[in-house]
Structure 1
Amino acid sequence: MKKATSRRETSTISFQRLAHFLICLSIVLYALYSGRAFFIPITYGIFFALMLQPVCRRFDDLFSSRILSVLLTLFTASAIVIGVIFFFFNQVQAILTEADDIYAGLQETLYEWAEYGGDRFGLTGEEVETYIDQAITSVSSEPLGIVSTGLSTSGVLLANFSLVMIYTFFFLLYRTAVKNFVLGQLSDDDQTEGLQTLNEVQQVAKSYLGGMGLVMLILGILNSLGLFAIGLDYYLVWGFLAAVLGIIPYIGTVIGGMLPFLFAVATTESLWQPILVIVLYVTVQFIEGNLITPKVLGGSVKINALAAIISVIIGSFFWGIAGIILAIPLLAMIRIILTHIEPLRPVALLMSDDLYEQSEQFVTTFNQSKYRISNIFSGRSSLALTPRKRLAGKVKQQVGDTDTEVIADSKPN
């Protein structure tokens, strides 16, 4: 009788824990969706601060003032971004001066192609022209529509760029205090593991920034060389525009290839150049997906394709293009955190890029009670970090350092 009562009590506790978890999760998701005007800039601020922290450390070694170091870091990053924007602005402005001629050329070429095909299907010239006018409007507006929609959904980020910079400034300035606050919420046994987790999360952000920059540079060079060989005008802007848009998973590559294809259709009289543009971008995309990105980013992100696609869809639902851009690096950081929480390690493996090779671990290594998620809701396990040794005195001292002491310390923080 006592055992039955105990089981009922355990079941009640489990149900209550699960209900509380679902309620809290619903509140968090609703807050992220309805409060995206607040969360998008602050998330980008955190992400930029993590990425720029190594640069800020370099300036910390040169100057005794952290404020000066942070300002120089933001100035350096802003100069690079403004330089890229200035380059594209000048090139796009030159293309827009020919917009009427480009549109007329696109319309004329498509008329010729459609009339040739229309004769085969018994369509009149008037029907073909009507269809082409509708097709041009749809095809030419689709990539621009996607871009404009993305800019509007992530308009909080773009319109409040100064707010993002302010967040980044203060996160860099108070990074020691924030780190100490996070570690202070953990027990002494968990603080070493917590410090390691924070370092790994920052490493992911830094590697993603450098990796994406290198990937975009390689793609821009490959695209530009290919378009130059094809004989397309403005090959630099088309090549590097596609590389920059590649930061938007899946969608960016399609847009980046569609724009130079339409430009080739509008400005060239031969059919082989537009076809070669398609062949070029498909080839470069294949090389990027199978060689460049796995080699450059594979070691830092370590997210399998299924998890990446799901995260991109969820990110687009909550935050639009801003969420799509952040989805993969944020998921990589979440995976790092989950690997340091014992009951959730199987979930981290479920996101990992070596899921296929390590699938047996679910019935071997993780086939234990402590790794079952249900234990979290039954009260048999906690979300404490994997037990490690207590913090050594030197690390404890580092945790308690003030900003001034950290700047004077030669060790990174």
Structure 2
Amino acid sequence: MKELPLTVRRSIELLGLVLIGALFVVASDIIMPVIMAFFISIMLLPVYRFLRKYKVPEIIAIIFPILLVVIFIGLIAWFFTAQVGNLVSDFPEIKKNMAQHLKSLSEWISSVSSYSPTEQMNFINKKSNDLLNMAGGMASGAAVTLSSLFVFVGLLPIYIYLMLFYKDILLRFIFMWFKTTDHPKVKDAIYETESIIKNYLVGLLIQITYMTILLGGLLMLFGIQHALLIGIIFAILNLIPYVGALIGNIIGVLLTITASTSLAPVVTVLAVIAAVQFLDNNILMPRIVGSKVKINALMAILGVVVGGSVAGVSGMFLAMPLIAVLKVIFDRTESFKQWGVLFGDERPAKSPMTFPGFRRKGPVELTSGTQKD
């Protein structure tokens, strides 16, 4: 069979990427719960295998790890709700502190500009009315999003159970896509994919735990109010690469400002977050995850942005494991290795433009017949 020209193959690849992207945009509400369930089911495989090793009935071996995940997520939700309740109880103090901050800000603006406090209040009232109108328009959308979240969470346990129950059928389906001679490569890719996803997700759960305890505990030692709430919010947002840490810092600063009239606690919060994040990025998380698949920062940020625009928060959380799985597949497929290189962070020792095959060995002939040195 004659091989297709390179340009045709590349065009088919790009067309396939466009079609896959369009499919995710159109059917993200269906696809994202399935992908999330797939990742969680792989994370639960060791527990399932351990129970089956000791002759536990298959149904119980599937349901038990799912219950463990539900309990863990329920504990996180309960802890977060309790901390938010403490924040709400301090609302009168928060209102008083915010009034003091706004007064100080108004005096500073008056000192550096010609806007009087009355003009500033008129401006604030006008913008407040605009925000209220915008909030009214977003209320119906929020109700739809909340209902979609309940459907998402409700479908997850069902998908996880069925994937663990029918895992052998899914594996057979994957192997039937390839020639028998390629089955060893497929097997290696499946094992590595399982290892990457398992290490990544388990590492994230461990990261949420120690980040909340470490960051919240240090902030409590420094006397910062709502320290545990700042800790758990930052720990959860930190799961989103690069973008989440920035948002977590902003929320931490806002919570600290509302709890105090002084700026010293804000500096303390930023310093503690920076120290904990440095420890997490350079010492703790690399040892916990231990993944050999490295994704460069450009692809990681693009993945988070694209995942967020296509599938919202769930897309942002799933962007990194999806890219890691794709890189494993691309690295083992001869016709897609260039995509694996694009996703990776292995920089070449020298620029490809300096390779002997790319060096200009003579003048370049122009279409007009003239030559240029």
User: CA separation of 1:321/1:194 partners in 2, compared to 1, >3 Å: closer, same or farther?
Assistant: same
Provide the residue aligned with 1:124 in structure 2: 116
Provide the residue aligned with 2:156 in structure 1: 164
Larger relative contact order (Cα-Cα within 8 Å, sequence gap ≥ 6) = 1
Q: Return the offset for 1:83.
A: 1.0
**SS in structure 2 at match of 1:160:** helix
Does residue 1:113 correspond to 2:113, yes or no? no
Does residue 1:230 correspond to 2:218, yes or no? no
User: CA separation of 1:345/1:138 partners in 2, compared to 1, >3 Å: closer, same or farther?
Assistant: farther
Provide the residue aligned with 1:280 in structure 2: 272
Provide the residue aligned with 2:320 in structure 1: 328
Contact kept? 2:241, 2:300, Cα under 8 Å? no
CA distance in 1, matches of 2:312, 2:99: 32
Give RMSD over aligned pairs: 3.4
Contact kept? 2:234, 2:252, Cα under 8 Å? no
Contact kept? 1:242, 1:253, Cα under 8 Å? yes
**SS in structure 1 at match of 2:178:** coil
User: CA separation of 1:204/1:120 partners in 2, compared to 1, >3 Å: closer, same or farther?
Assistant: same
Question: How do 1:2-401 residues align onto structure 2 when only pairs under 5 Å count?
Answer: 20-130=12-122, 156-297=148-289, 299-356=291-348
Count of residues in correspondence between the two structures = 349
Structure 2 runs not aligned, ≥5 long: 132-137, 359-373
Letter in 1 for 2:77: I
User: CA separation of 1:358/1:133 partners in 2, compared to 1, >3 Å: closer, same or farther?
Assistant: farther
**SS in structure 2 at match of 1:206:** helix
CA distance in 1, matches of 2:200, 2:146: 21
CA distance in 1, matches of 2:102, 2:187: 60
CA distance in 2, matches of 1:225, 1:238: 10
User: CA separation of 1:225/1:171 partners in 2, compared to 1, >3 Å: closer, same or farther?
Assistant: same
CA distance in 1, matches of 2:129, 2:268: 24
Structure 1 runs not aligned, ≥5 long: 1-8, 140-145, 368-413
CA distance in 1, matches of 2:245, 2:130: 19
Contact kept? 1:59, 1:69, Cα under 8 Å? yes
User: CA separation of 1:16/1:271 partners in 2, compared to 1, >3 Å: closer, same or farther?
Assistant: closer
**SS in structure 2 at match of 1:103:** helix
CA distance in 2, matches of 1:42, 1:179: 16
Q: Return the offset for 1:80.
A: 0.8
CA distance in 1, matches of 2:267, 2:121: 23
Contact kept? 2:38, 2:163, Cα under 8 Å? yes
Structure 1, residues 75-103: CA drift from partner, whole Å, max 9, x if none? Answer: 11111111111111122122123334423
User: CA separation of 1:183/1:315 partners in 2, compared to 1, >3 Å: closer, same or farther?
Assistant: same
CA distance in 2, matches of 1:286, 1:342: 38
Structure 1, residues 297-339: CA drift from partner, whole Å, max 9, x if none? Answer: 4634411111111211221222122111111110000001111
Identity fraction in percent: 23
**SS in structure 2 at match of 1:45:** helix
**SS in structure 2 at match of 1:201:** helix
User: CA separation of 1:128/1:321 partners in 2, compared to 1, >3 Å: closer, same or farther?
Assistant: same
User: CA separation of 1:301/1:21 partners in 2, compared to 1, >3 Å: closer, same or farther?
Assistant: closer
Q: Return the offset for 1:28.
A: 2.7
Contact kept? 1:106, 1:262, Cα under 8 Å? no
Q: Return the offset for 1:169.
A: 0.8
Greater shift, 116-125 or 191-200, is seen at: 116-125
Provide the residue aligned with 2:367 in structure 1: none
CA distance in 2, matches of 1:118, 1:301: 54
